[in-house]
C-alpha cells in the first residue's frame, strides 16, 4: 500500500518562487484551503515555510488564487503580495491562463482526440457535478479538449486543455463519455487508489507574471507511481 505523504514546510515541492508568487506541486491529500475537515491546508503550510525561510515576524500574507480538488495533484499558485493577488485573480477569472492536465483512464474514449462540451449542474449536498448534453436549469457551460497521449497497460493517458473552470469539470466530463479517471469512485471508477487520490494531475500552467509581466510556463512532475512513471 502506498504511504500518503502530506506536504509540510520542510518537504514542499516548490516549482517557482519570487517576491510576489510561490507555486507548489500539490500532493494527494493536500487541501489547498481550510474546510470543514479541520485539516491543515496547504496555504497554512506555505505560510509556515515563508515565515521560517525569511524570519518574518507576525502574520505572513498569502493569497489563494485557485484550488485543486483534494485527491488531485499538480500546480497550485499562491500570491505573496496583495498586488500580485489582485492581478492573478483577474488573470484566472478572465481565463488568461493556459492549463493542461493529465489524466489516466481505463476505458478508452471513442475518439483519440475530441472537444467535449457539456452543461454541468452542481449538487451541493453530495459535492458533485453532473454533465448534461443539453442545458438544464442552473447548469453552466463546460468545455475542454482532450487527446490520448499514451496507451499504458490496460489504461490510457489523456492530455486535457480546459476552456472553462467548472466544479469537478474534468472528472464529470470524462465520466459522461464513459472514461472515468482511475481511482475516482465519486465519478464512476470501480475502485479507489490505495493512497486515496485519483489519477488527475495539473501538469502545466502558462501565464503572464502579475508584476514583472514575463511569460511563466511551469511543469509539475507527476507523483511517483507505476502508471505515472510510464508517462
Partners of 144 in the β-ladder = 116, 162
Residue 155 CA to chain centroid, in angstroms? Answer: 21
The full 3-state SS of the chain, as one line of letters, equals CCCCCCCCCCCCCEEEECCCEEEEEECCCCCCCCCCCCCCCHHHHHHHHHHHHCCCCCCCCCEECCCCCCCCEEEEEEECCHHHHHHHHHHHHCCCCEEEEEEEECCCCCCCEEEEEEEEEEECCCCEEEEECCCCCCCEEEEEEEEEEEECCCCEEEEEEECCCCCCHHHHHHHHCCCCECCCHHHCCCCCCCCCCCCEEEEEEEEECCCCCCEEEEECCCCCCHHHHHC
Tell me the C-alpha distance between 55 and 75, whole Å. Answer: 26
| Tens of pLDDT, residues 12-50 | 999 999 999 999 999 998 999 877 777 899 999 999 999
The set of cell numbers assigned to 199 is: 489519477
**Does the active-site annotation cover 69?**
yes
Per-residue pLDDT, 35: 74
pTM: 0.94
pLDDT at 154 over 70: yes
List the catalytic residue out of 18, 39, 52, 69.
Answer: 69
Per-residue pLDDT, 3: 53
Please report, to the nearest 10 degrees, the dihedral formed by the alpha carbons of residues 15, 18, 19, 25 taken in order: 0
| Tens of pLDDT, residues 83-133 | 999 999 999 999 899 999 999 999 999 999 999 999 999 999 999 999 999
Mean pLDDT (the chain) is 94
Amino acid at each position: 500500500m502506498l504511504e500518503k505523504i502530506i506536504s509540510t514546510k520542510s518537504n514542499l515541492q516548490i516549482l517557482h518562487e519570487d517576491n510576489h508568487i510561490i507555486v507548489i506541486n500539490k500532493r494527494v491529500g493536500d487541501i489547498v484551503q481550510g474546510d470543514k475537515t479541520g485539516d491543515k491546508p496547504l496555504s497554512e503550510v506555505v505560510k509556515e515555510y515563508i515565515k521560517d525561510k525569511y524570519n518574518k515576524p507576525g502574520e505572513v500574507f498569502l493569497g489563494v488564487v485557485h484550488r485543486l480538488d483534494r485527491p488531485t495533484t499538480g500546480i497550485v499558485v499562491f500570491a505573496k503580495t496583495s498586488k500580485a493577488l489582485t492581478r492573478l485573480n483577474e488573470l484566472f477569472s478572465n481565463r488568461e491562463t493556459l492549463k493542461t492536465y493529465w489524466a489516466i483512464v481505463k476505458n478508452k474514449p471513442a475518439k483519440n482526440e475530441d472537444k467535449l462540451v457539456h452543461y454541468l449542474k452542481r449538487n451541493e449536498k453530495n459535492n458533485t457535478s453532473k454533465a448534461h448534453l443539453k442545458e438544464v436549469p442552473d447548469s453552466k457551460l463546460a468545455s475542454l479538449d482532450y487527446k490520448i497521449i499514451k496507451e499504458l497497460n490496460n489504461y490510457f493517458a489523456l492530455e486535457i486543455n480546459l476552456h472553462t473552470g467548472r466544479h469537478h469539470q474534468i472528472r464529470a466530463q470524462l465520466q459522461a463519455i464513459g472514461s472515468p479517471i482511475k481511482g475516482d469512485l465519486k465519478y464512476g471508477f470501480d475502485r479507489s487508489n490505495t493512497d486515496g487520490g485519483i489519477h488527475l494531475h495539473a501538469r502545466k500552467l502558462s501565464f503572464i507574471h502579475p508584476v514583472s509581466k514575463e511569460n511563466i510556463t511551469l511543469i509539475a512532475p507527476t507523483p511517483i507511481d507505476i502508471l505515472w512513471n510510464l508517462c
